[in-house]
Amino acid sequence: MDTKSIKELKILHEVSKNEHINQRHLSKKLGMAAGLVNIYLKRLAHKGYIKVSGIKPRRLKYLVTPKGIAEKSRLTYEFALISYKYFKSATDDIRKKFGELEAAGQTDIVVYGTEELAELCLQIIREFDLRVIGVVDDHAESAKFLGYPIIPAELLENLKFDKLIVAKMDSTDEIESLIAQLGIESDKICRMLEV
């Protein structure tokens, strides 16, 4: 699914929820430039997916047509299918890495991160004979994450663990720099879902 299709789906979704939505609100809600929203609305109207009614430019109504509803359904299905395939592939990759750690006897694990990827890793890790020492996150709002204690990053060098699971999709340069400063050997690091 390309970027254009995703933007069209987002606009169709928002217009179907609120026919009185205007381009400025769409722009803010979707994080797109107002001019780009205008282009997409015109394109969707030209394709027959939405109908634009009203006299004044600031008082336009956008209605999703039956053809637009069908297109929104098709795009939603395509997006869901791609998302499912990605999720399945990601969970398979994570299971494979955890299986390799278990087979190598590297059972004491620290998870770096408290976002969706870390949550997925902590759910899957229960399928293996691995022990989570703790979760590292300097920006956490509580003392535990999914029942595991949250440890400040500077305490990593004092912990005894076999692998540090980096379960974050962003800030990888920042994490790499911090890990290097703490003197953690690169062979103790396992990155999940490397892109």
Task: Determine, yes or no, domain membership for 135.
Answer: yes
Q: How far is C-alpha 187 from the geometric centre of its chain's CA atoms?
A: 27
Return the CATH number at 112: 3.40.50.720
Query: Which amino acid would we find at residue 107?
Result: T
Q: Where are the alpha helices (DSSP H) in the chain?
A: 3-17, 23-30, 34-46, 66-103, 116-124, 172-181
| Structure tokens, 164 | 């540090």
Task: Determine, yes or no, domain membership for 76.
Answer: yes
Task: Determine, yes or no, domain membership for 39.
Answer: yes
Residue 108: phi and psi, rounded to 5, are: -90, 115
Return the CATH number at 73: 1.10.10.10
The pLDDT tens digits for 93-136 are: 999 999 999 999 999 999 998 889 999 999 999 999 999 998 98
Note whether 76 and 115 are same-domain residues. no
Q: Chain-wide mean pLDDT for the chain?
A: 88
Task: Determine, yes or no, domain membership for 12.
Answer: yes
Domain that holds residue 118: 105-191
Note whether 113 and 57 are same-domain residues. no
The pLDDT tens digits for 34-89 are: 899 999 999 999 999 999 887 676 678 889 999 999 999 999 999 999 999 989 99
- The number of folded domains in the chain is 2
Evaluated on CA atoms 39, 41, 46, 47, the torsion sign reads positive
Please state the pTM of the whole predicted model: 0.72
The pLDDT tens digits for 150-172 are: 888 888 888 889 999 988 877 66
Note whether 60 and 109 are same-domain residues. no
